[in-house]
Structure formats: C-alpha cells, structure tokens
Amino acid sequence: MGAKSKKSNADAVYSKKSVKSSNPFDTAIAQTAKRLNPFDVHVNKEKFKILGRICKHDRGLPGVSRAKALQKRSETLGRQYAVKHKTNKFVDHRIGKHLSGDQLTESVMNARFLSEKLAQVRASNKAEKFNLNDDELLTHRGQTLEEIEQYRDERSDDEDIDDEGLNAEFTSTAHFGGDGDTPQDRQTAIEEMISEQKRRKNEIAKDKDEVHDLTEKLDANYKELLPLVAKATKDEQHEKPPPDAYDKLLKEMIFEPRGSVTDKLIDPEELAKQEAARLDKLENERLRRMKADGEEQEANVQIPHRSADDLDDGYFAAGNEDDGDDILAYDLDGNLGTHLNSKREAGDATGQSDEKDNESEEDGENDDDDEEETEDSDSEVDNLSDLKESDSESDQGEAPQPKNKTKPQKQKTSETVDTSIPYTIKMPKTYEDFTELLAKYTPTQQVTIVERIIKCNHPKLEGVNRENVVKLYAFLLQYIKDMFEDASEQDIRLHFQLVAQLMPHLYDLTHLNPDRMSNTLLDVIKEKYAEYRKNHKVYPTLDTLIYFKLVSNLYSTSDFRHPLATPTYIFMQHILSRARVRTRQDIAMGLFIITIALEFGSRSKRLLPAVFNFLLGIVHMAIPKRQVDQIEIVPPFERDGPFSKLLAIPATSESKTLESQQLQAADLVTHTITLDFKVRALDITLRLVKQIFEEQIGEHTGACFLASPFLPLMELLPLKLYPKHVQQHFAEAKSTLECVAAKKMKPLAPPDKKPKALRLLEPRFEVVYDDKRRPKMSKQKEERAKLLHKIKREKKGAIREIRRDTAFVQDLKLKQQLQSDKERHEKVKRIYQEASVQQGELNELARAKKRKKF
Amino acid sequence: MKQPLAKKSAHIEDVDVSAKRTNVPAELQQKANAFLNSSNVDTKVLREIVYLLEEPECNAIGVMHVLEVIFKNLLKRKCISAAEKQQEKTKSKGKANQSNAKCQTLYNKAWSFLLVDWGSASKEESSVALKVCMQLILSESKYIYSNAWPRNALRSVLETLVNSETTPPTAVAAFQKYARCLDVLQMTYELLPELAPNIFADSPNMALNYLAIINLLDLGKTVLNAKEYHIGPGTDKQPNFEYNQTRKHLNAVWKGIIASCSGVDEKVHRQVLVVLLERILPHLQDPILLTDFLMDSLHQFDGPIALLALQGIFTLMQQQNITYPDVYQKLYNMFYPRMFYNKYKARLFYLADIFLTSTHLPENLVAAFVKRLARLALKSPTEDAIIMIRFICNLLLRHTGLQRLICATGAASAVEISDPYDETELDPVKAGALKSSLWEMSLLQKHAVPEVANAARFVSKSLPVVEFDLSALLEMKECDIFDDEVKKEVNHFTLGYERPTNFALPQNDIVTKYWDII
C-alpha cells in the first residue's frame, strides 16, 4: 500500500514538473480519501541494494499493526480476563443463538416459538392435565385474534378516509380572506361551515352504507351461484368430445420435438462433397498402410537439393520447393545459363515416364498423394469403363440370350417373392436349422432371408444379437463351404450367383463386428491351410478359393501387412508353387487364384512370384513338344511327359473358328480338357500377362527379369492354329513384354544421406559464487540445521508475544485498579459530603436551640 | 529298459501291468497267470499261446506282450537253455528235460513268429515285435550266456530287417533306440558285412534296408559319450566297447558297399551317399580312396546326387587337402530354379555358405553368385527367397567390394543400362556380374509377403552390421511363414471401404473380367 501511494505521489510530482496542468485541482486529493499519515509510516533504510533480493520489510506501519494486535488481544485475552475467577456465566440456549438481525428467518422464529411452547407445556404439565380446551388464546393488543377477525371489515379499509380536518377550499377562503365578498359576519360563517361539514359527513356515511349493502348482496348472490359454476365446469370436462384427427395432429405438432437448428437439411451437393471427403480420407489412410513403416523410397530417387545449413526444421526457401525452377549454373561445356528442368524433361522422350515417377515420389508424400489419388481415381474410372465395355462385348459375343432371360426372371421373382417370406425371422440355433430354413426357398429368396435375419438381429436392437450375428456369419461361411465343396457342373453357376448376391450382406455383417467376424474367417482359412498342408501337391477344394475371393472383396488387401490378407497371400503362393497341375480343374483353379492375387495387388502393385511361374507354365503346356524335346520349366510343371503338353492343340481347323470367351464356371469342376478350354486358357493367360505387365508391375525396376522368360516360350507357340482373337491378344502381350523386357535401368545407388549438422557447443555456465561461508554439510544435517534455526526464530517470536500478552494483562489490571480506586474515592467523598451535610444540619439545630435558649 | 529288470520278481503283477498297457484280453491274461503260477511247465498251454500269434484275427500286440513275460520267466527259471548246453542237460536229468526241450522248441517257434510279424504292415505291431525280441535277447544273455551276447539272435533280427519287404522297414524306427547302445552298435557292425546283399542293383529294396540300418548306427561323439548299454558294460567274456574294433568293422562294411554298388539306380545311390556322408566318412581309414567315387557321382549326375557328392568332396578338401579345380563353377551351376523342389536344398545353401566364406575369393566370382541368387529369389518359393536375400546380404558384408552392386558411383548411377549380367553363362567369372546392379532386390521389395519385402529393404536402407545366421532359416518351411504370420498379435482388421454389390469388386475387379461365372 505504501509503495503504491509512493508511486502515485511520484507520478504526481513528475506530472507537476513536466506538464503544467491548466487545472490546479487536477492533482488534488479528495479530502475524504483515505490517506496514510506520513508520520505513521516507518521506513527501514537499506544500506545496499541487492539485485534479485525481495525485501519485505522496507517499510511498516507500526501504529496500525499495534492497534491490530491490541484489538486481537482484547478480543481474546481481554475476554478471558474478564471472566477470570467467575464461577458461572450467562449462557444463551436459544435456537439460532449465533444468528443476528437479518439472519433470523421465519423458520428460526417458528422453531423458537415451538420450543418455548413445549417448555411451557412441560412445566405446567401437572396443572394442565385435566384442562380439556387446552388451546391457549392468542392475543393481539389485548384482543383475542378471533375477535379481531370477527370485526374486521376489510373492505372499509381503503375508503376509511375520515379527514377530520378542514378542506383546502375552505381554509383558503377562511384564513386568507378570499375575494373579499364576505357579507356575513364571522359568527354566521362558522355556523354555516359546521352545518356544511355535518351534511357532507352524512352523505359519505350514506354512500358507504349503500356500497356495503350492494356488496353484501353481491356476495350472497355469488355464494348462490358458486355451486352452479363448479358443476358446469365439471360437466364440461365430462362432456369433452373424443379428440378427432385434427386435434391429434395439433397435439402432435405441439409436442413434437422441434428439429435443432444445426441439423439443417444437407443438399445433395454437400452430401456428395462430404462423401468424397470421407472416401479421400479413407484412401489416404489406405495408402499409408500400403506403404507401411515408411517403406523404402525408390532406390534412384533424387532428393531435392539441400543446403548444408538446412536445419531440418521443415522450412524451405521459397524457390527450393519448385522443381521446375530455373537454376543458374554452368553446364558441361562451361557455358553459363539457366537450365530449364521442365524443358529438358519434355525433350527426354525415353526417360519421360520414369522421370515423372521419380518426380512424383520426390515431392514427398502428402502433397503428391492427393494428385496421385486423383490420377488413380481417373485411371480407375477408365478401367471401369473398359471393364464394362469388355463385359458387354463378351456378352454380345458369346451368348446374349441367356443373360437377358435370367435378368427379368430375377426381377420378377424378387417382386413376387417378398410376400411369401416372413418379415421377422429368428436366428436359427444350429447350422442344421439354418440350412433347413434356407432349403425351403429359392436362391434369391435365400438372400432376402439372410438380409432379414441380419435386420432382425441387428446388434443395436439387443445385446444378445452380437453373438447371433457372429453365428450367422459362421453359418454363412459354412454354407458357402457346403455349396462349393462338391459342386457339380450344373449348379456351380447358381452357387456363384447366390454368393454374389450374399456379398453385400457379408460385407455388412463384417462391418458389424470386424474383429470377431475376421477372426472367424481367419480360423476358417487356417483350417483350410492345415488341410491343404497335409498334401500340398493337390489343389484345395473350390470353397477355399471362394474364401480368398471373400477376403479380396471385404478387406483392404493393399495393406503392407494385413492379418488376413497376408496369410491368404502366403496360402495362394504356396498353392501356386506346389500343387500339381494335371486336370482342367487344376488349371482353372490356378488361373482363378491368379486373378484373385492380382486383385489383392491391384492397388499396392505387389507381386507374387508364383503367379509368373504359373503363367509361364501354362504357356509351356500349350507348346506342342516332341518326345525328345525338353524345354526348361520350373515345378509344379513338368518338363516332359504327357502333363507337359496338356494344353497343346492338334493341328486341325476347328480351333480356328472358336469364339472369344471368358473362362467358365464349369471349368472349375470338370476334369476333362476340351479343345475350347485349351484355347480359352491360353487366351486368358495372354490377356493376364498383358494386364500384369501393363498395369501392375510394368513400372517397377527389374520387371524385365520377370518379363524376359516369357518371350522365348511364346515364340514357340503354334500361333497359326489359334483363332484370331488369340493371335491379337498374343501380339498385344508380346509387345508389352518386349517393351518391359527392353527397359533399361539405372544402377542402384543409396539415397543421398542428409548432410550432418554442425556440432553445436552448449555454453558452459559456472555455478554462481555467493560469498557465504558456511560449513559444508550433508543434506540431512543441513536440513536439521535449517529446522533448528527455524525453531530458534519461532521461540523468539513466541517469547516476545508472551511478553506483550503479560504487558497487556498488566495494563488491564492497572486500569481496573485505577477504576476501583476512583470509585472508592468518590464513595468516600460522598460519605464525607453526606456526613458534613448531616453535621451542618445538626449544627444548625444546635444553634437554633441555643438561640431559643438565648 | 531297466523297468523289466525291476519287475522280474513279481511276475504275476507283471502280466497284469503289461496287460493293462496293451489291452490284453482277460482270458489270455488269466491263462498266462495260471501258467506261470503252476510249478510245472505246462507245455500245452504254452503251445496254445504261442500259436495264437499265427491266427490273423487275434490281438497280436497283446499276445506278444504276454509271451514276453512268459518267456522271460521261463528263461529265469532256466527252463529254456541254449542249444549247446541242452545235450548235457538231457544226460543229467531225466524227465524234466522233456518239457524243457518242448519249451525250447516252442521258444524257437515264438522267435520265428515274431520275426515274421515284423514284415506286417502295422507299424505298431512291428515295433512291438522288435521290442519283445530285444527284451528276450536281454534276458537270454542274462540267464543263459551269463552276460555274453546271443549273436545268433541279433543276427536273425538284423537279417529280418534287411530282408523286409517294405522300405524302409517299419521296425527301423524302433531299432533306432537300441542302435544308440554301444554294445548293440558294435555287434551290429560286426554282423553287418555278412548280411550285405551281394549286388545292390539286383535287389534295391534290400540295399535300401541295409543302408537304412547303417544310417541308424551313429558313431558320433554324442552317442559314444552317452555310454548307454543294452545288456551292460562288458565282462571278461564280452569285451568292452572298443572304438577301433568297431571302426575296423565299419570299414569292412563300407568296402562291401562300394564293391556291390555299381550300376545302382538313383535312389540307392543317393542313399549310399547320405550314409557315407553322415555315418561313414568321419570314421573311414582312407577317405582319400573315396575321391573317385565322389567325382564320378558329381560328374555323372546332377541334382541331389551331385550335391551330396559335392559335400563329400568338400569334406575331403578340408581334411585330405585334395584340390578340385572348378568346384565353384560346379557349385554355381547347381543353383537353378528346379533345385527349390529338391530334397537337399538346405544342404546346398549350407554348402554354398561355407564355400563362399573365404574373403580371398575373386570378386567377380562372388558377384556372379550374388546375381544368380537374386535372380532365383524372384522365382523361388517364399522361404527360399528369404534365405537367399539374407545370404546375399551376408555375401555383401563379407566382400565389401561387392557393395558396388548396390552403391553405384554418382556418375554410373546416372546412366541407364540393361543388365550386363549373362544368366546363361556357365562360368561364373565370365558372367559379367560385377558390372551389374541388384535391381532384383528393388523388385523384391514389392513382394507380396511382407517378410520378403522387409528382407530386401537393405538395398535402399543400409546393410546390417552383423551377418545373419542362416542356420535358423534353413529349416524353415512355407507353412512356418504362414504360422508366423497368423500368430502375430492382431491389432486391427482393416476392412475395405467400398461395399461390393455382387461378386465383383467395386473397383479394379479382375476376377469377373476373366471369368464368366455369375
């Protein structure tokens, strides 16, 4: 406080000095402001100013603090002293004895009253024992409350203005003379006035009586009316008509929760945008997983130039970021000039694609991913359109009729069927029940049933359903197994259709509880693998392949490492590299696995070596060989013998007329190899080869090592025997392969290492020397010394306090002594006074007697 | 094998115990008990029991166990005696001998039945039969020959093994346990030369059986140090196991094999080589004599036989200082895609690892190996790919000059080239591998199996400091990779985010592009 005031003072001084204010009262301090008397302030003078030391005791207010201490003592010690040697004291036992004034609320008062009453009752219990009307009469101003209530006339309260005094008009005329036309004398005037006053009073009384009468009347009438009114309202309630539709609607509208403002309707554009953003996010996440633990940058990636002074703080000089920037530099010939990177690239025809790749990978992950993303999606869209076209083409090519037929049929059935299936279906307990349930219906109905089971057993409806859904998933897997394990040529297509329709539901199911469902599927795959492992030279049953496809459809297979996709990959690799290829079924299954494997790697562009080996093997099998010929090929394919030329076609003309065809579902279940299958298989192989090298691995460095073995083998194919479309595919595949195989590569070099930062030396601070020489002590001892010091100081303080206490008490004693002395002195004086008066009277009497005598 | 010794005193419980173990029918058990409890030997009952073996539908294993117990007791009671002593006994004792003689014949009969039983298909049966035989040999030597070895019995056992129709004989697995006993080991080696089939080419089955037996007879240090005995350490009659003696027999056995092993088919040849490498080579007196045999095997065959021969030659090079001029070329040409499907590929990796240990090898030679391994890794099954990548990594660490395969100089890395390495060149030195670069590794980084992709990452990251231990990898199978992958702590199954509406994927579908199935 002192400091503050000082500062304000200083300010004032400063302002006085610098700015001569025009107003002389500007700096004046109000008379009433609480100010410190400068004589009250005690200042402890500081000899040296020490930096960093906070001084608490530079000034003090001895007067104030002394007064405070005194007050505190009188409140504590003084009280104690006052009741010293007292044997009893007055104790307040009332309820709420600590409350005062405003704090005394109604409830406290009531409680007090009650307790008081109880005490009274208790005291007079015996006397009042036989008192029947025990209720005490409460009084107010001597009257009982009942009486007061009886005579109370509330309505007269406000009107009771008996102004006994004279009215203003009269007084003004009477006292101040008025106009002067007062012919009558004073006597008559007064009389008149009195009579007037009386008349007025009478009138008022009369009015009052009238009003009273009328109100009485009204009251009586009202009392008569009252039952009628009550009845009427009740009747009305009874008679209330049943609410009609309008009322209902109204009520509903009233009570309907109103939509909150934030949930405004989203227009489709916004929705699409949100969806796109969501997909974008998911895609980015997928890419991150695909790369996995900061997977390698490409070996030949050039890191943009980095200065040795680069601090790695993520800050880039503005120009540095842009690669297409022009750099001022000497070229090989020693000419100074700007090199336009972009131009050079444009000129470089062969390395163009490579450069681009490098660039895109150079630019770092985040920025470029988006671009790539868009590119990807573009290309994907393209692919899709391609796909559709090819589909439609092939449809037209092979057999447009059956497809067209089946579609409308399907629609029809789905329309008619829905009514025949119950809407709520309980979850079957066992697998037998499940199959029984499904057996009753056609495939499309089965799908509806599954859908409805899912809906009825949605985990959000009930907790138990969580188990049910998992069970249903397991049942479905089992069902798939049963369907495909021993499928025949006739029903395989139906089974595939059913699985295709089940696919979205399986997807939904997996999303309900990803962990449990995935573990179920993983267990199934594990089981299948264990089965396959027993004899790894034989292809597994068809259902295994369907599970692979399921994995491909439901999971993000592009991940670098995926708990389900990776084991499946290994499984597929194992099958492709070990299982013997002897029948049409084997070949078809191998091709099926290859297509699934390609799906797995379609985004991540990963490769499975066995895929190439298998494709090579099929090309190898299609080459007709003489007995002695041996063309090198890796197992599971055979170098010679009948199995080495399974797909070789005889030199007849009928093969030339075959139509282009996709692989058929029946291929997966039949064993005999027909001519059309031979052509078909080779055709698909060629197309696959083209797709793999074009879309998937063509751009990887070293892809030529995979492509080159195909070329010599393909040269040996008897191309003339095959129909035109095969020849066309052959040409396409060959050109792609040649392109990939001829690719040149840059020798591997390790990525440039980051320039090592200069070693920075930490400044060395010395311990601050404070000139205090204390003995060095151990920590414990130091602590103890500190404590002892503290004790000493506290002790001192305590002694001082005690001393002051005694002084205070002595002071009190002295005051008391003086007080009592004074009283006694006065008493003595009075006694003397009285005695002297008495004596004087006596003397007077005596003197009078003497006088009489004399 | 100490259990029966302990059990001898209470033979009746013995029957019970063994009965419980093998579900012997109760009647048979009672019969056996009654037979053993009666003081006189009732040959009729014995005969009945023995001939039970001949009936096809009886519980052969149970009967065998019962017979084992019975004959052990009879041997203990000296009711059966060896053939030589019988003569004397007939003279000294009158009536009792008759039953003894009968017992003897029955005993022999039982032996022959047991030996026939080995031929039976059931693995369990044959192994039990062998076990019973060995137990009988044990008690025979104990009570009749006073701890000497019944040579004939063992001989008959071995003979049956060799002549067995199935290859390898089913009882071999059971015999393995006994082959660890030193006395059995010695006796077998002693007996084997007599049993060798004359010409391997004529009877490949017998030859294989014979080799299978030898394959069990391990004279390695662990066996010698274990000092297990079937009957017990030697006495004065039967001298203790002597390594030198056995070694002499072993050499005789090998001489027999090499003499009769001409014009054999590949399977037998391979087995001969395996036996040679595993069991015989370390104990041969003049291993240098093998050079011809091994060289022939190396040059005339390829695949596993050549590989085994190469291993043999390697041992000779190590121990006998023979020189073989183009051993590296031979080794180099053993790496070809088909070899992953060979039985002995682990051995090949092991050998190659040893051959290429020396840091004084010319760089271009090792570079050729590295390139070839890298090429093969692109075609091989997963587990081999991992081994080869690790191996390449080790080679780069050993031969630091080879690191130019992954660290081209700045000037060189700017120019694009096609691979100068010639895959078809037979001579590794001329393959031109040193000018190449390990692009295969960068392709392998795109391998679908994360193990492989991770292993190949050394190219773009940095080489490890210490070499990998290949021996742990050599035993790995494809299934192990699957199991490892499945066992990994699963944290999250990431799902696809596009809902498929039918069999095809929403994007990038390939299956339906090539298949007309829906």
d(CA B10, CA A598): 72
> Are the CB atoms for B79 and B99 separated by under 8 Å?
yes
pLDDT digits (tens, 9 = 90+) for A331-342: 455 555 544 444
- Give the model confidence (pLDDT) of A135-160 as tens digits: 566 667 667 777 777 666 555 544 44
**Res. A768: pLDDT tops 80:** no
Please give the residue that has the higher pLDDT: either A268 or B17: A268
A704, A743 Cβ separation under 8 angstroms: yes
Q: What is the DSSP track for A373-423?
A: HHHHHHHHHHHHHHHHHHHHHHHHHH-HHHHHHHHHHHHHHHHHHGGGS-S
Q: What's the pLDDT at A391?
A: 39
pLDDT above 70 for A325 = no
B460 → closest Cβ in A507, A514, A751? A751
Interchain CB distance below 8 Å, A496 and B440: no
pLDDT > 70 in chain A, percent: 71
Among A97-106, A655-664, B219-228, B383-392, name the one with the lowest average pLDDT. Answer: B219-228
Count of CB atoms situated within 10 Å of the CB of A705: 20
User: Which pair of structure tokens corresponds to residue B415?
Assistant: 């120019």
Residue A815: helix, strand or coil by DSSP? helix
Supply the pLDDT for residue A262: 58
Listed range (A413-427, A548-562, A725-739) with the worst mean pLDDT: A413-427
A104 Cβ neighbours under 8 A, 6+ residues apart: A96
The predicted pLDDT at position B335 comes to 84
Chain A, window 503-542: residues with a beta carbon less than 8 angstroms from a chain B beta carbon: 503-504, 507-508, 510-511, 514-515, 518-519, 522, 526, 529, 533
DSSP secondary structure code for residue A136 in this structure: P
Q: Residue A470 CB: number of other CB atoms within 10 A?
A: 19
Given CB atoms, is A754 within the 8 Å cutoff of chain B?
no
pLDDT at A209: 94
CA dihedral A212, A216, A219, A225 (to 10 degrees): -140
Q: Please indicate whether, in this complex, the C-beta atoms of A566 and B512 are within 8 angstroms of each other.
A: no
Q: Please say whether the beta carbons of A208 and A161 come within 8 A.
A: no
**Tokens describing residue A29:** 């301090």
Q: What angle do CA A11, A16, A21 make, to 5 degrees?
A: 115
Q: Do residues A576 and A530 lie in contact, with contact meaning Cβ atoms separated by under 8 Å? A: no
Nearest to B443 among A562, A601, A702 (CB): A702
Shortest distance between the Cα of B268 and any Cα of chain A, in A, equals 23
B462 to chain A, any CB pair closer than 8 A? The answer is: yes
The domain boundary residue, chosen from B92, B109, B144: B144
Under DSSP, the state recorded for A658 is P
Phi, psi of A214 (to 5 degrees): -60, -45
Q: How far apart are CA B203 and CA B182, in angstroms?
A: 30
Mutation choice for B interface testing from A284, A291, A296 by most B CBs within 10 A: A296
The angle at the Cα of A786, spanning A783 to A788, to the nearest 5 degrees, equals 110
| Residue entry with tokens 């007062």 | A182
Number of domains in chain B: 2
Tokens encoding B179: 């082959």
Identify the residue whose tokens are 């050549």.
B306
DSSP secondary structure code for residue A695 in this structure: I
B430 touches chain A (CB under 8 A): no
Residue A373: pLDDT band with limits 50, 70, 90: very low
Mean pLDDT rounded to a whole number for chain A: 75
- Residue B513 within a domain: no
DSSP, res A651: S
- What are phi and psi for residue A745, nearest 5 degrees? -130, 155
Neighbour count for residue B236 (Cβ, 10 Å): 7
- Name the least confident of A239-243, A612-616, B9-13, B172-176: B9-13
Tens-digit pLDDT profile for residues A425-453:
777 888 888 888 888 788 778 888 888 88
Q: How many CA atoms lie within 13 A of B403 on its CB side?
A: 15
Q: For position B119, what pLDDT does the model report?
A: 57
In a domain? residue B138: yes
Give the CB-side neighbour count of residue B462, counting CA atoms within 13 A: 5
Higher pLDDT, A365 or A811: A811
pLDDT value of position A212: 92
Task: From residue A76, give the alpha-carbon distance in Å to each of A81, A83, A746, B242.
Answer: 9, 11, 98, 111
Query: Is residue B489 less than 8 Å (CB to CB) from chain A?
Result: no
Whether B370 is covered by a domain: the verdict is: yes
**Per-residue tokens: A761:** 């030396």
Cis upstream peptide for A636 (omega within 30°): yes
Question: What is the model's pLDDT at position A25?
Answer: 66
Question: Quick check: B445 and A295 CB within 8 A?
Answer: yes
Angle at A780 between CA A776 and CA A781, to 5 degrees: 50
B80 in any annotated domain: yes
pLDDT at A831: 95
- Confidence bin at A509 (pLDDT 50/70/90): confident
CB contact under 8 A, A705 and B439: yes
Domain boundaries, chain A: 2-47, 417-741, 817-854
Pick the more confident residue, A24 or A645.
A645
Q: How many CA atoms lie within 13 A of A125 on its CB side?
A: 4
Q: Residue B438: which domain range? A: 361-479
pLDDT of residue B352: 86
Range among A40-49, A125-134, A641-650, A817-826 rated most confident: A817-826
* Residue B411 near chain A (CB below 8 Å): no
Which two three-digit tokens encode residue A530?
């264990």
Q: Note whether residue B373 is domain-resident.
A: yes
More confident site: A326 or B218 = B218
A291 CB-contact burial (10 Å; exposed 0-12 / middle 13-18 / buried 19+):
middle
Q: Does B33 reside within a domain?
A: yes
Q: Which residue of B has its CA nearest to A525?
A: B486
Per-residue pLDDT at B436: 84
Alpha carbon of A238: minimum distance to chain B alpha carbons (Å)? 60
CB-based contact A607 B490, cutoff 8 Å? no
List, as ranges, residues 312-371 from B with C-beta within 8 Å of A: 337-338, 340-341
Please report whether residue B2 resides in a domain.
yes
CA nearest B156: which of B207, B199, B195?
B195
Q: Cα separation of A331 and A534, whole Å?
A: 66
pLDDT at A515 over 90: no
Would you call A205 exposed, middle or buried from its count of C-beta atoms within 10 A (0-12, 13-18, 19+)? Answer: exposed
Final residue of a structural domain among B92, B112, B144: B144
Sign of CA dihedral A50, A54, A56, A58: positive
Whether a cis peptide bond, with omega within 30° of 0, leads into B168 is yes
Contact A459, A472 (CB under 8 A): no
Assess if residue B232 is contained within a domain.
no
Alpha carbon distance A350, A420 (integer Å): 66
Identify the band that residue A784 occupies on the pLDDT scale cut at 50, 70 and 90.
very high
Residue B409 with chain A: CB contacts under 8 Å: 749
Apex A786 CA angle, A51 and A56, nearest 5: 35
Q: Provide, as residue numbers in chain B, all residues whose Cβ is less than 8 Å from the Cβ of A398.
A: 516
Tell me the pLDDT tens digit for each residue of A388-426: 333 333 333 333 333 343 334 444 444 444 556 777 777
A252 to chain B nearest CA, in Å? 39
Between A292, A634, A705, which is nearest B440 by CB? Answer: A705
Q: What is the pTM of this model?
A: 0.59
Phi, psi for residue A189 in degrees, rounded to 5? -60, -45
Predicted local distance difference test score (pLDDT) of residue A780:
92
In order along its 518 residues, chain B shows pLDDT tens digits of: 334 433 333 444 444 454 445 556 666 777 777 666 666 666 666 666 666 666 655 566 666 677 777 777 766 666 555 444 444 444 444 444 555 666 667 667 666 766 666 555 566 666 677 777 777 777 766 666 655 666 677 777 777 777 666 665 666 666 777 777 777 777 777 777 777 666 666 666 777 777 777 777 776 667 666 666 666 655 544 556 667 777 777 777 777 777 776 666 777 777 777 777 777 777 777 777 777 777 777 777 777 788 888 888 888 887 777 777 778 888 888 888 887 787 778 888 888 888 888 888 888 888 999 999 898 888 888 888 888 898 988 888 888 888 888 887 777 777 788 888 888 888 888 888 888 888 888 888 888 888 888 888 887 777 788 888 888 888 878 788 888 888 877 667 888 777 887 777 777 778 888 888 77
**β-strand partners of A59:** A43
Note whether A748 contacts B513, CB cutoff 8 Å. no
**Which positions ≥6 away from A371 have C-beta within 8 Å?**
A360
d(CA B250, CA B285): 10
ipTM: 0.71
Verify whether the Cβ–Cβ distance A383 to B512 is below 8 Å.
no
List the end-to-end C-alpha distance of chain B, in Å, as a whole number.
Answer: 66
Return left, alpha or beta for B483; rule: phi > 0 is left, psi -120 to 50 is alpha, else beta: alpha
Whether cis (ω within 30° of 0) applies to the bond prior to A755 is no
Per-residue pLDDT at B224: 67
pLDDT band at A561 (very low <50, low <70, confident <90, very high): confident
What is the C-alpha to C-alpha distance for residues B310 and A219, in angstroms, rounded to an integer? 134
